[in-house]
Amino acid sequence: MKYPFADLLRDRRRDLRLSQRKVAEATKGVVPQPIISGWETASAMPKLDDPRLEAMAEVLRVSVEEMRDALACQLRGNAMISPVSAKEISLGDLDFIRQVAEGLGGSIPCSFMMQLLYQRFMRGTSADIT
């Protein structure tokens, strides 16, 4: 007997491998930046439309705008900054961004995932992050 969920699981694993390959290609040759204390070096921070962050958004199946909103909420709780200044972020300030620069070498913080799920719920969009 053939189980349909086995096909879905196989397809999901294939999609994940393809996404990880895209992130690896986007982060090729990237050297993770050290953690920046404070926000005095804002000019050195990459924009949120950096291809590495777009690749991460694709892996998470979210838009870059959703990622920016979740980052702003998470940073506002930790550093009391405005959503506008959250558009410029150091690769070292949030651990998951550093992990993207290393080719998805770790897990994504639960608090960030919960923030994305909450925002999708509030907007009435599907929260299909798995």
Answer whether residue 42 is part of any domain.
Answer: yes
Query: Taking Cα atoms as reference points, which of 86, 36, 44 lies closest to residue 64?
Result: 86
Answer whether residue 67 is part of any domain.
Answer: yes
Answer whether residue 130 is part of any domain.
Answer: no
Over 50: is that where the pLDDT of 90 sits?
no
Answer whether residue 21 is part of any domain.
Answer: yes
Q: What DSSP state is assigned to residue 129?
A: -
Residue 107 — pLDDT band, cuts 50, 70, 90?
A: very low
pLDDT for the residue 33:
46
Tell me the whole-structure pTM to 2 decimals: 0.29
CA distances from 93 to 1, 10, 16, 52, 82 (A): 50, 35, 26, 15, 15
Instruction: Let me know the angle formed at the C-alpha of 62 by 23 and 69, rounded to the nearest 5 degrees.
Output: 110
Full residue range of the structural domain in which residue 27 is found: 4-123
Answer whether residue 129 is part of any domain.
Answer: no
Bridge partners (DSSP) of residue 88 are: 47
- CA 38/CA 27 separation, integer angstroms: 25
Answer whether residue 11 is part of any domain.
Answer: yes
Number of domains the chain is built from: 1
Residue 88, phi then psi, degrees to nearest 5: -115, 120
Residue 21 — pLDDT band, cuts 50, 70, 90?
A: confident
Answer whether residue 128 is part of any domain.
Answer: no
| Length of the chain counted residue by residue | 130
Answer whether residue 92 is part of any domain.
Answer: yes
